[in-house]
Chains A and B, each alone.
Chain A
Amino acid sequence: MTQLFAVLTFFWNHRPETLAVALLAVAGLGLISRVPVAYSAMNLVVRWWTVSLTIFAFVLVIGLLIVMLAFVNGMYALTKTSGQPGNVIILADGATDESFSNLAITDVSDIANQPGIVRVDNAPLVSRETYVIVNQPIIDGAEGRPKRRFLQVRGVDNPEISATVHGLKLMPESRWFSDAGVGPLPGAPIDAAPAVEIVLGNGIARELGLDRKPEVRAKAKDAERLVPGDTFALNNRTWLVVGVLESSGGTYDSEVWGKQSLLGPMFGKDNYSTLVIRTKDAATAEQMRDFFANKDDKGYTKAKLNAIVETKYFEGLSQTNVQFLIGAVIVAVFTAVGGIFGVMNTMFAAISQRTRDIGVLRLLGFRRSQILVSFLLESMLLAIIGGALGCAIGCFADGWTANSIVSGGPGGGGGKFVVLKMQVDAAVLSTGMLLALTMGFFGGLIPSISAMRLTALDALR
């Protein structure tokens, strides 16, 4: 069982290569078959109606698989790209996630001044953050949009340093929030209450933008997303967007950033939840992780901390990805099995229509194996056409945005609500084509064997 799993894992990790080998094998069958491939192809044309129905079924099954895998692929891409190899996340001891972490203010300055942290203009590259998940009621939102959502708010001390640590950049016409974290609303009277200034991740800017009613969107600067100058309501305050982050493809695309000293107390979290430190490279990050986690009692002892290399932290949030991947594979396998029975029907019908052809071929000297290969090729040809069309249609899913959650599963702590971009890549397309070829092979195999077993006399009788 373990060996089988290892073999399947190997093929899964080398899907494009496996597809290339499978296609070469099909081409090889075509070459060794003395029955011309054109004969098989022409037979597909002659039975165009049933062939079209079968191909359509292939298109649906494969297209569906591509969409499901593109979703899971997007989740994996998100967890992979969120971390910087040189970054170390520091949480309070025992905290499995930022949501549960509380770092004492007194510890934070000491941690930030430890050697090994990269410094720019003599300032340590340490992002001091308070992360809260906020329940946002969406009042007067657009029809069909959620009435409530969990908004991920990250309060940071110094946005420039935090952005450098996380490798994030502002989009054009954006700026960081002010030192106070608040500012006047454009066009508001001078004595009006100031708005909370925030910077939005690229994904959440789109989600919040879509919450607006159609008439509001029609008049907006950008109908699809919130842009600098737009506002929304939360916690009885007006929140003014002063900037939008460039898409990084990571979890930060789904966050709202503001001033820590304002947002922390606003949502009942005065302390920092997270420190993210930048080291010079991945190897140093590992060393700093061991130091702050006080591995083997040879490290930092002033406070008990939980330190994790950032890339590992986000890798740990892939438990949901695994669950969804397993779900997608199970659905695809069951649907494919159903499809295989459909292909068998088509191929059995093809054989029963051409029993005399088989008799003639046998009399002409074609061997049983060549008859088998000929029908198998016909079935595979059907699969290749249907699979390719399914892949082509599935490609439209590339770039679609979707809401989801990434989490570490049981024991892994909290999760993150994310807006992801679905990704169709070579591996996903290869999976689609491999499934199509598998359906074609198994759907065609038993009918082909039955064709092979016909004697010339029986076939012509």
Chain B
Amino acid sequence: MNLLRLVIDNLVRNPMRTILTSLATMIMVLVVTGVFSILSFLAAATTEKAENMKGIVSERWQIPSQMPWSYAASLKEGAPYQPGDLKVAPKDSMTWSFYGGSTDSNPKNRSVNTILFAFCLEPQALLTMMDDLDTLKGPPRKDLEASVAKLEQNRIGIILGRERAKSLGKAVGDRFTVYSFNYKDINLEFEVVGLFPPGRYDLSSAIRGDYLQSSLDAWSREHNGQLHPMAGKSLNLVWLRLKDQKIFSQVSDQILTNPSFTSPSVKFETASSGVGTFLQAYRDLIWGMQWLLAPAILFTLSLVISNSISINVRERRTEFAVLKVLGFRPWQILLLVLLEALLVGVTSGLVSAGGTYLLVNNVMGGLRFPIAFFGSFYIPEAAWWWGVAIGGGTAFVGSVFPAWSARTVKVAEVFAKVA
């Protein structure tokens, strides 16, 4: 207890140095927490699950995947075609078509404030299949259920992400037309029936898949039966949720051997594998963040702390000599210096990481860093202990040498100089 009081007294004795070291630690921990949050999210997104796995069916060779809509019905069931084949329940499947356009009919006026990309899907799939929405609880879940119910009743309904609604200047109940740029001449009218809960889907929107399909059919009727150029390419992805690896393999076999899916041929992969493939383009960037940026900042932080503690130790050599004369053992002096550094490091790290968590998640609405299909990242709860670990770890590394130097202060030498 006395040692702790001594530690605190020493830190308070030079408040400027303590504050500067603490501020440097906080800033560096903030950056590293941000970097770690992005990396940990991407790592989680690409980690294979053993149970409750999601798989994606997509066109085998081409990007973007464009399959005929006729594939949808069978693929949603896991493509059973032989007696005894497994059949996936409707609640465990989802089809995706991507519809993009602008609220301005003039292509030259397209901007981030007019464009909209929508997932075209079965409304119920929003509650059962969409990542993060399927695990939603409490009032946000109830709000989403209400929006989904309205979408089921309203063919032209659209659920908007909050950021997207803000940039478009639309609120629930508003109607507007979107002029498509990937489905030429399929310009759709929408009515906003709800908003996504804040977070991952802030920039997204969702519409009914059957609305897009019926619009393509209507186009065909208006053009004497001629098919729309995108009619045979309007199914982009099919999602399936499967219980475990064994069932995943079985369904995979069904899909890959089913003779109905040959032109174009399809592939089936886990969601994590699909995400991982997209992230390949960013692999050097991610490598740089993981192995250059984060270590360099941690090392810089260690240097800053080491510098501060070194200065401290050098200025207090006489004090350490006096402590030795008073009976302090060398290890106690080493501990004293280490504890001073650790207290600053751990406290600053905790405050910084906690502050980053609250600021980024509650005020900023996530860390904006668009990579692949991820627009913004949130700081995980684990960041609280990251801060403690980073602050404490760098403080320890940075103070070991100065602490050792304090431990080895020779009383005779110090007093000889003083004399």
Q: With an 8 A cutoff between CB atoms, is A124 at the interface?
A: no
Which of A5-13, A63-71, A238-246 participates in binding chain B? A63-71
Number of B interface residues, CB 8 Å? 61
- Are A410 and B112 within 8 A (Cβ)? yes
Q: With an 8 A cutoff between CB atoms, is B86 at the interface?
A: no
Residues of A within 8 A of B363 (CB): none
- Are A331 and B31 within 8 A (Cβ)? yes
Q: With an 8 A cutoff between CB atoms, is A99 at the interface?
A: yes
Residues of A within 8 A of B254 (CB): none
- Are A411 and B299 within 8 A (Cβ)? no
Give chain B nearest CB distance to A71 CB in angstroms.
7
Among the listed A64, A93, A147, A411, which residue makes an inter-chain contact with B110, where contact means beta carbons less than 8 Å apart?
A411
Among the listed B60, B182, B299, which residue makes an inter-chain contact with A60, where contact means beta carbons less than 8 Å apart?
B299
Q: With an 8 A cutoff between CB atoms, is B215 at the interface?
A: no
- Are A53 and B307 within 8 A (Cβ)? yes
Give chain B nearest CB distance to A440 CB in angstroms.
15
User: Assuming A135-B267, A338-B24, A411-B111, is B16 touching A348 (CB within 8 A)?
Assistant: yes
User: Assuming A50-B311, A344-B20, is B300 touching A135 (CB within 8 A)?
Assistant: no
Q: How far is the CA of A135 from the CA of B66 in the complex (A)?
A: 13
Q: How far is the CA of A100 from the CA of B66 in the complex (A)?
A: 10
Q: With an 8 A cutoff between CB atoms, is A356 at the interface?
A: no
Q: With an 8 A cutoff between CB atoms, is A327 at the interface?
A: yes
Among the listed B102, B182, B304, which residue makes an inter-chain contact with A100, where contact means beta carbons less than 8 Å apart?
B182
- Are A54 and B307 within 8 A (Cβ)? yes
> Which residues from 83 to 139 on chain B have a C-beta closer than 8 Å to any C-beta of chain A?
102, 107, 110-112, 114-115, 117
- Are A404 and B277 within 8 A (Cβ)? no
Q: Which residue from chain A places its CB closest to the CB of B102 in the assembled complex?
A: A411
Q: Which residue from chain B places its CB closest to the CB of A341 in the assembled complex?
A: B24
User: B residues within 8 Å of A by Cβ?
Assistant: 16-17, 20-21, 23-25, 27-28, 30-31, 59-64, 102, 107, 110-112, 114-115, 117, 180-182, 184, 229, 263-264, 267, 273, 276-278, 280-285, 288, 292-293, 296-297, 299-301, 303-304, 306-308, 310-311, 315, 369-370
- Are B24 and A60 within 8 A (Cβ)? no
- Are A402 and B303 within 8 A (Cβ)? no
Give chain B nearest CB distance to A207 CB in angstroms.
10
Residues 63-90 of chain A: 1 if any B CB is under 8 Å from the residue's CB, otherwise 0? 1100110010000000000000000000
- Are A410 and B115 within 8 A (Cβ)? yes
Give chain A nearest CB distance to B41 CB in angstroms.
15
- Are A60 and B296 within 8 A (Cβ)? yes
Across the A-B interface, the 5 shortest Cβ-Cβ residue pairs: A342-B304, A341-B24, A338-B27, A133-B63, A402-B284
User: Assuming A334-B31, A404-B281, A404-B285, is B300 touching A339 (CB within 8 A)?
Assistant: yes
Q: How far is the CA of A417 from the CA of B27 in the complex (A)?
A: 34
Q: How far is the CA of A61 from the CA of B297 in the complex (A)?
A: 8
Residues of A within 8 A of B16 (CB): 348
Q: How far is the CA of A422 from the CA of B283 in the complex (A)?
A: 15
> Which residues from 329 to 381 on chain A have a C-beta closer than 8 Å to any C-beta of chain B?
331, 334-335, 337-339, 341-342, 344-346, 348-349, 352-353
Among the listed B27, B62, B114, B303, which residue makes an inter-chain contact with A269, where contact means beta carbons less than 8 Å apart?
B62
Q: How far is the CA of A243 from the CA of B31 in the complex (A)?
A: 45
Q: How far is the CA of A418 from the CA of B76 in the complex (A)?
A: 35
Q: With an 8 A cutoff between CB atoms, is A57 at the interface?
A: yes
Which of B16, B20, B23, B263 is most buried by chain A, counting CB atoms within 10 A of its CB? B20
Q: With an 8 A cutoff between CB atoms, is A148 at the interface?
A: yes
Q: How far is the CA of A334 from the CA of B24 in the complex (A)?
A: 10
Give chain A nearest CB distance to B282 CB in angstroms.
7
Q: With an 8 A cutoff between CB atoms, is A232 at the interface?
A: no
User: A residues within 8 Å of B by Cβ?
Assistant: 49-50, 53-54, 56-57, 60-61, 63-64, 67-68, 71, 93-94, 96, 99-100, 102, 132-135, 146-150, 235, 267-269, 323-324, 327, 331, 334-335, 337-339, 341-342, 344-346, 348-349, 352-353, 402-405, 409-411, 414, 417
Q: How far is the CA of A267 from the CA of B194 in the complex (A)?
A: 40
- List 12 other contacts, CB 8 Å, given A61-B296, A411-B181: A53-B310, A150-B63, A268-B263, A338-B24, A338-B25, A338-B301, A342-B304, A402-B284, A404-B282, A409-B112, A411-B102, A411-B111
Residues of A within 8 A of B297 (CB): 64, 335, 338
Give chain A nearest CB distance to B147 CB in angstroms.
23
Q: How far is the CA of A49 from the CA of B278 in the complex (A)?
A: 47
Residues of B within 8 A of A132 (CB): 61-62
Give chain A nearest CB distance to B75 CB in angstroms.
17
Q: How far is the CA of A417 from the CA of B307 in the complex (A)?
A: 43
Give chain A nearest CB distance to B199 CB in angstroms.
18
- Are B280 and A146 within 8 A (Cβ)? yes
- Are A99 and B63 within 8 A (Cβ)? yes
Q: How far is the CA of A345 from the CA of B63 in the complex (A)?
A: 54
Residues of A within 8 A of B61 (CB): 132, 134-135, 235, 267-268
Give chain A nearest CB distance to B227 CB in angstroms.
13
Residues of A within 8 A of B304 (CB): 57, 338-339, 341-342, 345
- Are B20 and A341 within 8 A (Cβ)? yes
Residues of B within 8 A of A68 (CB): 288, 293
- Are B30 and A334 within 8 A (Cβ)? yes
Residues of A within 8 A of B282 (CB): 403-405
Among the listed A147, A268, A348, which residue makes an inter-chain contact with B264, where contact means beta carbons less than 8 Å apart?
A268
5 A-B pairs, CB-CB below 8 angstroms? A53-B310, A56-B303, A57-B300, A148-B276, A268-B59
Q: How far is the CA of A417 from the CA of B31 in the complex (A)?
A: 28
Give chain A nearest CB distance to B285 CB in angstroms.
6
Residues of A within 8 A of B64 (CB): 99-100, 133, 414
Residues of A within 8 A of B288 (CB): 67-68, 71, 402
